[in-house]
Amino acid sequence: MAAGIIGIGSYVPEKVLTNADLEKIVDTSDDWIVSRTGIKERRICPEDKAASDLGTSAAIRAIEDAGISADEIEMIICATITPDMVFPSTACIIQDKLGIVDIPCFDLSAACSGFIYGLEIARNLVETGRYKNILVVAAECMSRVTDYTDRTTCVLLGDGAAAAIISKIEGDFGILDTYLGAAGKYSNLLYVPAGGSKMPASHQTVEKRLHFMKMEGSTLFRIAVNAMSDSVKKILERNKISPEDIALFIPHQANIRIIQGVAKLAGIPMEKVFLNIEKYGNMSAASVGVALDEAVKSGKIKKGDLICMVSFGAGLTWAANVIRWSKNG
C-alpha cells in the first residue's frame, strides 16, 4: 500500500510587510534585502488571529481539494514552532475549529523541516492500513517571534500555513521516499532563548528581548547548503533517480543564495526550481507546503511528475522527499 497527497491547500494573511515598510523600522534598504535574501515582501498575521486560524483556513482548502468531508479525517498532525500556546496543542485547536471529534491530534516541532517530517509520519501511519485520511498542517506566525529591532533577522520572516491530506494512493504514485536528519549539537545557532522550562518568562527575559529568534547566520548558511544538497543527493541516489528525472524542485524558501547553492550542488538547474520567496520570505514549516500548493495550482506540477522537496531548520533539522504526483492540479 502506498500513501500520498490527495488534497493540498494553503493560506497566507492579507497584510503585506514590504521592504519599504522595513526601511522605516530598521536601518536597512530594499536593495540590501533583495540582493542578500531575494525577499521583497512577507505576510503578517492579524493581531487577533493565531497559528491555528491560519492552519484551519489552509486545512479547509486541502479538504475541499481532496474531495472529502472533514469528518473523514482520522488524525491531525500540526507542524509548528509558533503554536497558539504551550498547551494544548495547536492541532487540537484546529480539530475543534474544523468541527471534528474523537480523533488523535498532536503538534510536531521540527522548525522549517516540519511539513516534510509530518508528511513522513502520516505516510507511514496510512501505509499500515490503520488510518485512511490524515491531515498534516504546517502553520506559522513567525512575526510573533521576530525582533523588529534586529535588522539581520526581521527581514527574513513571514506568516502562513499549508495543509495536505495523506491517504492511500493507487498505482506507482505517492510519496516514494523520505530522508530525515537532525544535529542537536547545533541547537545554539537558531533558537528562541526564553519561554520554555529552561528560561521561563520574566520581566528580565522580556526586557532583554529573549522571546525573539536568535540566529548565527553565517554558520547556518554553510550548514544549510551542505545539509540540504546532501539530503537531495542521498534520496535521489537510493531511489535510482537522476536530477534530470525531477520535474520540479521545491526547496525551503529561506534565502535565494542558499537555494542557488543547494541547486548547484544537487545538480538541479534553476529553471526546475520553484521560487516564491520574494512574496513570503521564510514561513518556517509552512514554506515548502505553500510552495507546493502554488506550484500545483499554477500548473507547474502535473499527474505523474516527479517532484523533490527539501527543508532545513532549527534543531538543526533537515528533510527531503520524492513524490510522484498522483492528481491533476
328 part of the active site? no
Q: 283, 284, 257, 280: which is closest to 270 by C-alpha?
A: 257
The one catalytic residue in 133, 282, 308, 321 is 282
Contact residues for 8 (Cβ-Cβ < 8 A; gap 6+):
62, 65, 162, 163, 164, 165, 289, 292, 293, 296
Q: Is 226 a catalytic residue?
A: no
Active-site hit among 112, 141, 154, 308:
112
Active-site annotation holder among 19, 92, 141, 252: 252
Residue type at 297 in one-letter notation: K
Q: Is 203 a catalytic residue?
A: no
CA 216-218-219 angle, 5° bins: 70
Cβ within 8 Å of residue 197, ≥6 positions away: none
Cβ contact 115:155 at 8 Å: no
Answer whether 133's CB lies under 8 Å from 74's CB: yes
Q: Is 129 left (phi over 0), alpha (psi -120 to 50) or beta?
A: left
Q: Which residues touch 159 (CB under 8 Å, ≥6 apart)?
A: 12, 13, 42, 43, 44, 45, 54, 140, 141, 142, 143, 283
Q: Which residues contact 74 (CB under 8 A, 6 or more apart)?
A: 103, 131, 132, 133, 134
Which alpha helices (DSSP H) does 67-152 contain, by range?
90-98, 114-127
Give the residue numbers annotated as catalytic, written as ranges.
112, 252, 282
